[in-house]
A and B are shown apart, each in its own frame.
Chain A
């Protein structure tokens, strides 16, 4: 045999036709899924941070409701309560709220210009040591010792609700993310199945020429993994723009006070292309290997 050898040759062309990867509908679907997943993630992060803030705030303080004795003014009773609490270990600042402040707290329910003879309980706010907060029992004991008729509210009732709400938000976000991952995996599995069936001629030639199942599966794995990574990038980008707009419009408090988006919430979105690519690659490989076993 004789003939001129080529001086240089471009790298071998992909064994799967390039046009198979340009399935616009598939890219669109995966992009939308990634977009929803990213928004769910940002919302979950914002909700979690809000719940954590509330938790810290409630855990770091207590409220004492003081009922004055028969021969005592409310102000005097509150002052005695504050004195008694100031000496308790684990208590920081103690402040007896003035009558006007107590009325202001009740204003949403009772309105303005309350009757003079209405017995409004006096409140004492207690800031607790962050590391070793005083317990409700120790504060109640100190109040009893000082013969002050009072009830200590260490916000434990609210804390339970806050914790439950935070857990619910996190669980919902995880459930949404899991559903989206499952949907994305199913979409890719469907596309891989269609791709293998459409390229049955190619798969047959590769098999008969000695290609291993893993080699053929890797073609689809790489193809769909790359496509999903690009779709993930687009979905995450769109979600970042939307979340960024919310942050810009709403300022630090956010568009909704319950979901104050921070710029740092957008950082995890960087992982979306990698996660989407990985899910698609695993789904495509698993599906392809399963189908190839049925082929000769």
Chain B
């Protein structure tokens, strides 16, 4: 895995008065104000359709807010040049809800994609990727393509791809949705381990058990607004 870059001063992610609406309709997210400090670990919860995925997509700069300001790694995303996006995105590992694996690539090449895009050479990352795939239980399936993998295996592969570059920020959308309880715990341990090494983690989930087991703070979306809840369930 590549060495993590120097941490930026200030929050990794900062939302100030952010609102989001689609096609001129009412805002589905409104007045979002929060900071993710470097090395923090948060969960986002909320009912289906509450806007968890939209929030993550705004962090990823795949969606632009209709108002407010988002700062990423100390950079105001509204003033970013297009050419600056790739370098910022490479600092973010993303587990998509729909996984978005590339069906024509095998598991190894899928997992290695962020390293390849960052310009790394096969000899430099081959051992790391193989080790990571073995760790998520895909050591024997690295030559299989996504259509040949089960739903749970695909999910683990998507997680491997998100963490392989040891990103500064990991955002995951329902990362344990298709895995059994034991694998969910293993995945949580992987996220915790990455967090311990300095990665800021933000996970959107419905898995209350995972949230409770982690003991990490929760941001709950309800009615388009965000409430910060402590790990013990009390409103902060």
Contacts and interface: CB of A to CB of B under 8 A. Distances in A.
A210 B102 contact: no
Contact of A12 (B63, B116, B133, B139): B116
A1 B131 CA distance: 7
B122 to A, nearest CB: 6
B63 A211 contact: no
Contacts of B94: 208-209
Contacts of A215: 117
A36 interface: no
Given A3-B130, A6-B142, 12 more contacts: A2-B135, A3-B133, A5-B127, A6-B127, A6-B130, A9-B122, A13-B104, A15-B102, A201-B100, A206-B117, A210-B89, A210-B114
Contacts of B114: 209-210
24 contacts: A1-B135, A3-B130, A3-B133, A4-B130, A4-B139, A5-B127, A5-B131, A6-B126, A9-B122, A11-B122, A12-B109, A13-B104, A19-B104, A201-B100, A202-B102, A205-B100, A205-B102, A206-B117, A207-B85, A208-B89, A209-B161, A293-B82, A296-B62, A296-B64
A15 B110 CA distance: 10
A106 to B, nearest CB: 78
A107 B108 CA distance: 86
A2 B131 contact: yes
Given A12-B122, A13-B104, A13-B106, A212 B131 contact: no
A56 interface: no
Nearest to B83: A212
Interface string B98-118: 001010111011001110111
Given A13-B109, A209-B117, A211-B117, A3 B102 contact: no
A5 B106 CA distance: 16
A204 interface: yes
A255 B169 CA distance: 73
Contact of B62 (A4, A202, A208): A208
A158 to B, nearest CB: 62
Interface in A159-214: 201-202, 204-213
A17 interface: yes
Interface in A3-46: 3-6, 9, 11-13, 15, 17-19
Interface size classification for chain A: 20 to 34
Interface string B158-189: 00010000000000000000000000000000
Contacts, number: 83
Contacts of A6: 126-127, 130, 142
A210 B122 contact: no
B100 A296 contact: no
Given A210-B114, A296-B62, A3 B134 contact: yes
Contact of B63 (A9, A17, A209, A296): A296
Contacts of A12: 109, 112, 116, 122
Interface in A104-155: none
B77 to A, nearest CB: 12
Interface in B132-152: 132-135, 139, 142
Dominant SS among interface residues on chain B: helix
B5 interface: no
A296 B117 contact: no
Contacts of B142: 6
Nearest to A205: B100
B162 to A, nearest CB: 9
B61 interface: yes
Contacts of A202: 102
A293 B82 CA distance: 8
Contact of A209 (B87, B113, B130): B113
Interface in B197-223: none
- Counting from the closest, the 3 A-B pairs by CB-CB distance are A3-B134, A210-B90, A1-B135
Interface in A235-249: none
Contacts of B117: 206, 209-211, 215
Contacts of A208: 60, 62, 89, 94
Given A201-B100, A211-B117, A296-B61, A3 B86 contact: no
A17 B126 contact: no
Contacts of B102: 15, 202, 205
A233 B104 CA distance: 29
Contacts of B108: 9
A209 B104 CA distance: 17
Nearest to B105: A13
B135 A210 contact: no
Candidate in A4, A18, A201, A209 with the most chain B CB atoms within 10 angstroms: A209
B186 to A, nearest CB: 11
Contacts of A296: 61-64
